[in-house]
Amino acid sequence: MVNRKKSREIEGKIVEGCCKGSIRDFEKLFDLYGDKILNYIHSYINGDLETSKDLMQETFISVYNGINKLNNPDKFTNWIYTIASNKCRDYLRDQKNSPVVDSTLLEKIEDTRSKGSLKYSDNALDMEMINEITDKMPVKVREVFLMRKYEHMGFNEVCRAAGCSLRAAKYRMKKAVNILSRELQKRGFNFGS
């Protein structure tokens, strides 16, 4: 908990520096968030890596152009994910692509996207299969799932970033878990005792 608090303090100072126009702090900010935002966008749009990189750059351009208007540096994380989500929605709109389950299922999925290669987790769930299933989820459902599972955002943060109510966010997460569970069961996985 102490490390997270210290990390937020450092991040806050970097954001404050960016608000004052510091290019060096903006580079630090990009280092802190670049890969996270790229992974989020890539998963969100189910697109190729180059398109994801373009949308990430658009996100950071918007951040750069608008960060001086950010009143509270503590809200930066929500703000950048909101921008990224909006960029993804716009892209998907332009492209015209447009049962209660045991919650421990989510804990059985290991995020290996940033490790460079797909492999089996301890629970033998192939991440390629997980990504294939999430790619088929409705956009709003997938958005909440990705923020909760891979970005580890709380429901209140998800609500602000996704622009929905707490009830809607929880419903979408439940729907995502149900879809994931059903599809994995079709493929022979059993998450019972």
Domain limit, last residue, from 61, 78, 95: 95
CATH number at 174 reads 1.10.10.10
Max Cα separation, the chain?
55
Q: Which two tokens stand for residue 83?
A: 């921008």
Cα 117 to Cα 112: distance, rounded to the nearest angstrom: 7
Please check whether residue 53 lies inside any domain of the structure: yes
**Residues 163, 91: one domain?**
no
Across the chain, what does the average pLDDT equal?
A: 79
CB within 8 Å of 104: residues ≥ 6 apart: 191
pLDDT of residue 113: 41
Question: pLDDT per residue over 56-98, tens digit each?
Answer: 999 999 999 999 888 787 888 889 999 999 999 888 877 753 3
Residue 58 domain boundaries: 2-95
Give the mean model confidence (pLDDT) for residues 12-39: 90
Q: In this structure, are 7 and 90 located in the same domain? A: yes
Q: Are both 49 and 111 inside the same structural domain?
A: no
Q: Is residue 191 part of a domain?
A: no
- Per the structure, the count of domains in the chain is 2
Please say which residue of 45, 62, 95 terminates a domain.
Answer: 95
Classify 126 as helix, strand or coil: strand
* CA–CA distance, 21 with 159 (Å, rounded to integer): 29
